[in-house]
Amino acid sequence: MVAGPENAEAFKEYREKEMLPFIGLPDPEHRVLKLYGQEVKIFKLGRMPAQVIIDKSGKVRFMHYGHSMMDIPENEELIGLLKTL
């Protein structure tokens, strides 16, 4: 799932245009951002990347907060973590 800062209609349009294969959650009030401590840095164009893996029971199993858009774990790393759950 991905949370985005857009309103519901803009977020839907973006997901459809980009054909994103996962669930999306519009978060214009930044509730999810605040809940998980995701940073916003205006001089770096907004939200910093954050990856959180939550298991079926609701327990956070992995958290990564990036310092730039280049600071994101590789897909293989995240998939490997998911396979262990």
This prediction has a pTM of 0.59
* Domain containing residue 67: 39-85
Quote the CA–CA distance of 43 and 73 in Å, as a whole number: 22
Same domain, 7 and 47: no
Asked if residue 75 has pLDDT above 80, the reply is yes
- Total domains present in the chain: 2
Give pLDDT, residue 42: 64
Q: Give yes or no for residue 81 having a pLDDT over 80.
A: yes
**12-71 pLDDT tens trace:** 898 889 888 888 888 888 888 788 777 776 665 677 778 888 888 989 899 888 887 788
Are residues 29 and 44 located together in one domain of the fold?
no
Token representation of residue 20? 């994103």
